[in-house]
Chains A and B, each alone.
Chain A
Amino acid sequence: DIQMTQSPSSLSASVGDRVTITCRASQSISSYLNWYQQKPGKAPKLLIYAASSLQSGVPSRFSGSGSGTDFTLTISSLQPEDFATYYCQQSYSTFFTFGPGTKVDIK
């Protein structure tokens, strides 16, 4: 199975900060990488698919990059509603796997 790791596991940031989250796959997954946002008590929400494509309706301050094994999710200017946990997911293999998550909280 393909293993996914994320770093950091948590971070504290202020409104307006630029935030970068890293995701790494245990083998090359081309661009088969998705990012989700989850707020407490809510279902995950798709932000980015195919490594860098922004899901419809998602603010443009979110962006994704990378291919192969290393990927990043960037929030260009953190907003109050962005405090949440972010998960990467590989869809290269049908045995889909998620990263362990990165919790973004208020500094």
Chain B
Amino acid sequence: EVQLVESGGGLVQPGGSLRLSCAASGFTFSSYEMNWVRQAPGKGLEWVSYISSSGSTIYYADSVKGRFTISRDNAKNSLYLQMNSLRAEDTAVYYCARSGYSYGTTYNWFDPWGQGTLVTVSS
């Protein structure tokens, strides 16, 4: 069964740091691009970051660029999000999601998603 399990969320003070992890199983992790998506309480979905299968290509949303760092360890089947200089507006459930592609095309989507981990930034 394809599965993604996030961990590392919690309560942190403004300006603090937190590292999220996403453990992958049931598929060849090193072959897939991965993403982080967040959802503030009662709000919609916001894409946060993307990393290619090798880790050589990375993108960030403007809202987190310069503060968050995405990385992966293909030997450990794990995805990470290092979050620094956290702000109240970073409070959200953070999901990891695998990128999927239609064979022979460049159409892509997010599937599956993990269950999410809650990050709360508050003093």
Residues of A within 8 A of B (CB): 1, 31-32, 34, 36, 38, 42-46, 49-50, 53, 55, 87, 89, 91, 94-101
Contacts and interface: CB of A to CB of B under 8 A. Distances in A.
Contact of A50 (B59, B107, B112, B115): B107
Contact of B59 (A87, A94, A98): A94
Interface of B: 35, 44-47, 50, 59, 61-62, 95, 100, 102, 105, 107-116
Contact of A100 (B44, B50, B102, B108): B44
B116 A43 contact: yes
A106 to B, nearest CB: 19
Given A55-B111, A87-B45, A96 B50 contact: yes
B20 to A, nearest CB: 15
Contact of B109 (A43, A49, A99, A101): A49
Contacts of A34: 109-110
